[in-house]
Structures are given as structure tokens and as C-alpha cells.
Structure 1
Amino acid sequence: MFYRMLNVVSMSSATSETPRVRKQITVLQALDVAKTQLYHFTTIVIAGMGFFTDAYDLFSISLVTDLLGRIYYSESDGKLPKGAAIAVNGIALFGTVLGQVFFGWLGDRMGRKRIYGITLKLMVLCSLASGLSFNQRPKDVIATLCFFRFWLGIGIGGDYPLSATIMSEYANKRTRGAFIAAVFAMQGVGNLAAGTVVLIISAKFRNIPAYSTVTNQLWLADYVWRIVLMFGALPALLTYYWRMKMPETARYTALVAKNLKQAASDMASVLDIEIPSGKDEMDALITKQDEFGLLSLEFFHRYGRELASTTMCWLVLDIAFYSLNIFMKDIFSGIDWFKEESNMDPLEHTCSIARTQAIIALCGTLPGYFFTVIFIDKLGRIRIQLAGFTMMTIFILVLAGPYKFWSKNRSTQIGFAFMYALTFFFANFGPNSTTFILPTEIFPTRLRSTCHGISGAGGKIGAVIGVLWFLHFRKSIQSSLFLLAGCNLFGVMFTLALPECKGMSLEDITGEIDDDEELSLGSDPIHGTEFIHSVDL
């Protein structure tokens, strides 16, 4: 019922003018109205497996960070030094920022497909190399691990804008939101897989007879974290062949490369669609495209507000989302969820953390993604994002206000875990999904991958801020939770500046195909529209 309270109303900024119906290039029109086919689902799997790998690599490190401290700093307090902990948890996120901007830009300059394989190779090689970070001194092991995770982050960052853009440009306008959300939902599967793999591998090693001695416990645990990190290469490697076989998207080929014949041929080879001829008309439409650049005043005037809003929404969301994921152990330790660490062997403690993450992912994270897939093309992006930010704020405040109360007994601790799972449910049935979807829809084709990369980079800057705050600046878990709630309130405000894209063609949303024909029915492009968000109380 909450979603029905949020109503998004758009009003033309020039109501006295006659609305225009925009012509459409025939191959793109055929894509917009195409029936859902097997290749759409194949594309979801191919692109989604990249996000499975992304989530697995980014979230598995938090499960083995304590293990690294127990192995390499056992002679001191058994914990990573603060600087090393920040580097291990944050270096991949920093690399992701650079990868999103750089590969997003390359995706617009050189094509989505050509760059797609490069990012996958980088992820596979660096996942394997992370597990092979051998050296004699602990500092050298951590330094080597951070080096490869930095480059892993660059590959992960590049996968974000390319996967999102490819899926949006393949999809039809009726189910585009669900298709992009389904790709991003693989992040939840990767998160669950990280916890599951850690549990399975740790259990196997704990059953080895030699594990009974303290010396062998550390020796065997050293294999566990390496295998966990190297496993991230497997799902990406399995999809490499199909990524290389994918044709370039028709929108890039038609609108950027301006090769209509090739665009039609590529789509006819993978989709069952009829593409009528109309070459002269299409050539005329392509000729009328604007050619302003990202740093031009025209872009700032037409899309500046949208780019600032998508970037800031993603930034404040990821401060909360990655903090709640990466520092789940610290937050739950504050309510005495885990047994005393000193009474547990290294892999037992790791299993306890992984089990908690897997339960939260299964009960809260995954259902949130699936609800988004089901409802996004019915409710719209803005309603879901506003409701998600609002509900996250409420649940985090409920967790933070009586924070010490939750440690009272096991029943209250379970209640805390339930509320924590609900926070993740509304993160994923909310801004964590929609901040990924909206940048693929509201920017023109020749700048779409770049703008998505910039927006995503803002998000990962937020994630780095969260890591630095929790590891270096925080005074207490409770105050940090209040900070995360405040971030979500900022997300509500920036969401109000974004347009709704439900059920519209990408070219109608961006207005990048223009003509002088005025008709009695139709709509202006979103950049010429004033959006009023009202709440019916």
C-alpha cells in the first residue's frame, strides 16, 4: 500500500505548444516492440554473470579479512592493522571508481562489445592472482593482495556500465526495466554465493584430521582464503565465449557508428524480428541527431540535473549499502551476536560470519531483487526508489535508536537480524536496483555508457567513504547507523529531480532522434519536461 501513496506526475513545461510524436528508426522500433525471446534471457545470463562475479569478489573479502589477521598477525593481537584493513577492504572499491569512468567512456568511443571482453579478462586474471599473493613477510602478502584487488576493481568497474547499457539497448520498452533489474539481481546471487562458498570450503578444511593442532589450523586456513578469492574467476570464465559471440547493440551501431544495415543484420541474427525497409527516412533521422559532447553547455542544460541526481543518489545509497554489507560482522558483534572470538578457531569464526551473511542474503537481499524484477515496469522506477530510501531510513533508525537493547537476549538479537534483513530488502526493492537502471535510460546513446560510469563511480566513492568512516572515523556503531539513515534521506531529495521512464522508448526518453513534424498526440523528451512528485496522504 505504501507504493500506492507515491504518485509521479509529469507536466509539460510548454503546455501551449502542440506535442510532437517522434519518428523512430525502423530497426530500433522493431526492438522496442519485439516479443520477449530466448535471446533476451541469454543476454540476462551473460551480462548477469558479470554481476555475480562483481558481487562475489567485492563481498567475499569481508568474510576473510579477519582470517588474514589471524594468519599473518597471530603474534600480535590477531587483527589486521588499521591501515591494512582499510586497504584490503577499500582498494577494490577505489579501482572500481576508475574502471567505471574509464571503461564507460571507452564503451561509448569503441563500442560496448569490444570493451566487454577486456573487462572480463581482467576480472578472471586478477581473481586468480589475488589468491596467489605469496610472500614471506605479512606486509608483502597484504601489499600483493591489494595490488591485484585494485586491478580486479578496475575490471569490475568496467563491467557495470557495459552490462547495464547492453541490456537496456537489447530490451523492448515494455519489459526493459525488468530485464535490467534481472541482470543486477545476480549481484544478490553473488552475495549469497560468497557466504555459501566460504561455509563449504571452511567446513571441508575443518574436517581434515590435521586441523586439530593450532599450528595446522593457521596453515590450512591460509589455503581457505586463497581458494575463496580464486573461485571468483570461475563464473566469469564460463561466460567468456558467449560474450565474444554477442553482436554489438543495434542502438550503438545505428546511432553512433551510423551503420543501419549492420544494425539490422546483427539483430536479425539473434532475434526473431521483422525489420521493414526505410533507409532514406532513417538516414534523414540520423543526420538530425545532436552531436554535443559531455562537457558542453548543451549537455549541462539538457542532462546536467539528471546526471548530478543519478550520481548523488548512487553515492548516498552505496555509503549505506556497502557499509551494511562489509561491516555486518562489526554491527552484529555490537549486539553480542557472535561468540567470543578468542574461544573460536580461525575457520569456526569465519564460518559464523559467513553463515550470518548467507542468511541475510537469502531472507532479505534476494527477495528484494526479485520484487524489483516483478514490479518495476508496473510501479515505475521513481516510486520504487522513493519508497526504498524511505523504508531504509525507517529501519536503520529502528536498529540504531535502541541499539544496546538488541543485545538483551537471543530473542532480541534475532529481532535485530530480522530488521537488518528488511533493510536489505528495501535497499534492493528500491535504490540499489533503480540507481543502476535509471542511468541506462535517461542519457543519449553516444554518452549512455559514460554517464552510467560516472553515476556508478559516484556510488563507489560513497562505498569508499563508508569503509573509511567505519574503519577510521567512527565513534560508535550506533552513531554510524544514524549517519547511514541520514544518507538515505538525502537520497529521497535527489530522487525527486529524476524523471520516470516506465514504458517509453529510449529515444523518446532522451529525445536524441528529432524531427520537425508536429502531431496532435505524443510527448516531449524528458529533458524538456518538468517533473512534479506528489504524495497523496
Structure 2
Amino acid sequence: VTYFMALIILSIAGSTHYDLQMRTMLALGAVPPALVLPSALLSLSAKAKTGSSMASVFSFGDLTAAFSDSTHSSALFGTSACWLLFDIYVYGVSIYTPEIMDALFGSSETLAQDYWQNVMSTAVTVPAALLNVYLVYSVKPRDLQTYGFAVAAVSFAAMGVCWNLFSDNKVFLFCAFLLLKFATMFAVPATTFLLPNTIFHKNIRSSCNGVSAASGKVGAFIGTFGFPYLFDAFGMAGVFFSCAVIAGLGLFITRTNIPEGKLEQQPTAQPRADDSSDDTPYKTTRDTDKLLA
């Protein structure tokens, strides 16, 4: 959508007043948040009314117990490390896409050419997202994440081989890169969000999800600033092979550290009379049990 809007604005304004075009894009970017802001404020108001009751359920002792308990700490390491590894390669590839396009086709003569190349490389991620929505309720999250990392690892390795063997066939490499973009957005973008919310007890679920998400931001930082050094040291093929190793490591951690189902036992520092949650497994109105069946 962003690139299509940029193409429309570019076609209207032409190759002048790029500063005005940029400000227009920034202004249009504020429209979607403005549309959802009223409903977000209403949701916060509703949550504020129940905040006192929720405060009595949560205790930092629960989170401390989760870190000290080997089962929960292993699962938390798994969700955090997988999110970190995923963001390393997905942000690295996303940020480095212009350099990959330049390596394939040379520097674009116009902004419109840049936009169209990015439209094509981004559009293939939409089918991946739709496939994730379809699979998330029919495949266990742990298995789905395993498949996602496996597909990404194979795709990166294949891209590294193709980059050297078919360096003169730019069209073939571009098609291979489109498949790679699809692979990077298959399964793992959904499961990294889903797993922390399905395997941990509700008293620590949001905190564990926050720790995992924060690890992902560290991975995004590493991918964004580390890829140029990888490229300088090993070339573009070396970058792809490195990403294959990262995805393979994510697959390994998924199988060894993330449990197959919910952690039924609540990690509690000490019993609390006001905790009405007991050891009830995680349930939501979207019937999360179906995700783990």
C-alpha cells in the first residue's frame, strides 16, 4: 500500500518537490492510527474499570518463579530466542532489499522503478500472511513454527547457491528472491506472537510475551546493522548462507525448548488467597485449545 501511494503521488507531482511528496506520505501515514484511536481509547477505558481486580491477580513473584523454574525458563528462552533469530534475518533482508535489487538490476534510473521493484518484492508476502491465517487454526503452533524455520533455512541456502551459480540470469535470481521473501514471512511471523500467549499461564503471559517481543527488537537491531558487515566480509551469498544458519538454529531451539502444549502448572512464588485462577489452562473466546489440539 505504501509503495502504491508513493507511485500515485509521484505520478501527480512528477520528479520535483520530493520534500513535499515525503511530507504528504507522512501525513497519510497518520490516517490509519487516527481511525482506530477512538476504539482504542474506549478499550483502555473499559480495561481501567477492571484494573483493580486484575492487579490482585498478578504478582511479580509469579514472574520471578517463572524465571527460576526450569520448565518455564526453558520455554521463555525458546520463545525469546526464536523471536530474536527471526527478526535478525527478516529485518536484515527487508532493510537490505534495495541493495539486493541494485545487485540484480543495477541502480534504478528513476524512483518509479525503485517503487515497482519494491511493490513486487513486498506483494509476495501477502499470500504468505493469508496462508498463515489459514494454517494457524489447523496446525499446532510449535509444528507450524518448525515448518516456517525449515522453509526459511532451505530457501536461504538455495538462494545462496543460486546467487553464485546463476549470477548472470537476473530474472531467475529475482524470481528466487521473491520466493525467499515469501519464505521469510511464512509461519514464523505468526507463531512468534502466538506461542508466548498460548504456552504460559495467564498470570505471567503478558510479561513473557513482552520479554519475547523485546528479544525480537534486539534481533531487529542486529539484523539491521549487522548485515552490512556480513556483506563486506562474505558477499551477498555469504549473507544468505548466514541467514540459513540462523533459521536452522531457530528450528533447533523450537524443537528443544518450546513445549508441545500449554504449561498447565502455574509458577507461583507462594499461594495467594485472592488468586481465583488456580491452575486453569489458558482459554480465550477464540478457543485456543484448537490451536494446540
Q: Give the TM-score normalised by structure 2.
A: 0.80
Per the TM alignment, residue 373 of structure 1 is displaced from its structure 2 partner at its CA by 0.9
Residue deviations 1:130-149 (CA, integer Å, cap 9, x gap): xxxxxxxxxxxxxxxxxxxx
Query: What residue number does 1:194 align with?
Result: 2
Aligned: 1:256 with 2:54: yes
> What pairs up with 1:174-189 in 2 under 5 angstroms?
none
| Structure 2, unaligned runs of 5 or more | 267-276, 283-293
Contact 1:393 1:488 (8 Å CA) reproduced: yes
2:140 counterpart residue number: 380
Partner Cα distance (1:201, 1:293) in 2: 52
The AA in structure 2 aligned to 1:225 is M
- 1:492-536 Cα offsets, whole Å, 9 max, x none, are 0111121234xxxxxx65544336xxxxxxx999xxxxxxxxxxx
Q: How does 1:425-464 map to 2 (within 5 A)?
A: 425-464=182-221
Q: Distance in 1 between matches of 2:66 and 2:134?
A: 39
Displacement of 1:379 in angstroms is 1.2
Tell me what 1:270 maps to: none
Letter in 1 for 2:141: R
Residue in structure 1 matching 2:37, options 218, 240, 247: 240
Judge conservation of contact 2:66–2:72 (CA < 8 Å) in 1.
no
Q: Is the 8 A contact 1:384 1:431 kept in 2?
A: yes
Partner residue of 2:278? 514
Aligned residue number for residue 19 of structure 2: 222
Q: In 2, Cα distance between the equivalents of 1:428 and 1:254?
A: 39
Q: 2:149, 2:251 within 8 Å by CA — same for their partners in 1?
A: yes
Provide the C-alpha distance between the structure 1 equivalents of 2:153 and 2:3, rounded to a whole number of angstroms. 26
Counterpart among 237, 243, 255 of residue 478 in structure 1? 237
Partner-residue secondary structure (3-state), 2:63: coil
- Name the aligned partner's letter for residue 9 of structure 2: I
**Would you say how many aligned residue pairs link Structure 1 and Structure 2?**
267
Aligned residues: CA RMSD? 2.8
Q: Is the 8 A contact 2:79 2:196 kept in 1?
A: yes
CA distance in 1, matches of 2:69, 2:12: 56
Of 243, 246, 269, the residue aligned with 1:487 is 246
Task: Evaluate the alpha carbon distance shift between residue 229 and residue 290 of structure 1 in structure 2; reply closer, same or farther with a 3 A threshold.
Answer: closer
On the 8 A contact 1:313/1:435 being kept in 2, the answer is yes
Question: Kindly tell me: are residues 301 and 359 of structure 1, through their superposed partners in 2, closer, same or farther at Cα, counting changes over 3 Å?
Answer: same
Task: Give per-residue Cα distances to partners, 1:301-353, cap 9 Å, x unaligned.
Answer: 34111111111101111111111111111112222x24x44xx2xxx2x3222
The answer (yes or no) to whether the contact 2:264–2:281 under 8 Å persists in 1 is: no
Alpha-carbon distance, 1:367 to partner: 0.9
Check 1:354–1:308 CA distance in 2 against 1; reply closer, same or farther (3 A cut). same
For 1:370 and 1:509, locate their aligned partners in 2 and report how far apart those are by CA, in whole Å.
29
- Once the two structures are TM-superposed, the CA of residue 244 in structure 1 deviates from its matched residue by 1.3
Cα distance 1:198–1:298, how it changes in 2: closer, same or farther (>3 A)?
closer
Cα gap change, 1:315/1:297 in structure 2, threshold over 3 Å: closer, same or farther? closer
d(CA) in 1 for partners of 2:160 and 2:66?
Answer: 44
Whether contact under 8 Å (1:255, 1:446) holds in the other structure is no
Three-state SS of the structure 2 residue aligned to 1:402 is helix
Q: CA deviation at 1:366?
A: 0.9
Give the letter aligned to residue 199 of structure 1: L
CA spacing shift, 1:402–1:424, aligned 2, 3 Å: closer
Say whether the 8 Å CA contact 1:317–1:488 is kept in structure 2: yes
What's the offset of the Cα at 1:253?
5.6
Q: Is the 8 A contact 2:101 2:117 kept in 1?
A: no
Distance 1:379 1:469 in 2: 33
Q: Which residue of 2 aligns with 1:422?
A: 179
Once the two structures are superposed, residues 474-500 of structure 1 have per-residue CA deviations (whole angstroms, 9 ceiling, x without a partner) of 322221111111110110011112123
Checking the alignment, whether the CA contact within 8 Å between 2:159 and 2:180 is kept in structure 1 is: no
1:40 corresponds in structure 2 to: none
Q: Quote the Cα distance in structure 2 between the aligned partners of 1:493 and 1:254.
A: 41
| CA drift at 1:422 | 2.3
Greater relative contact order (Cα < 8 A, sep 6+): 2
1:320 match: secondary structure: helix
- Shift of the 255–352 alpha-carbon distance from structure 1 to 2, 3 Å rule, reads farther
Q: Distance in 2 between matches of 1:524 and 1:244?
A: 30
Distance 1:499 1:413, change over 3 A: same
Q: What do the CA deviations read for 1:61-95 (whole angstroms, capped 9, x no partner)? A: xxxxxxxxxxxxxxxxxxxxxxxxxxxxxxxxxxx
The equivalences for 1:155-174 within 5 A come to none
Q: Percent identity?
A: 22
Question: TM-score normalised to the size of structure 1?
Answer: 0.46
Kept in 2, the 8 Å contact 1:292–1:299? The answer is no
Corresponding residue to 2:76 among 307, 311, 319: 307
Higher Rg of the two aligned structures: 1
In the other structure, the counterpart of 1:231 is: 28
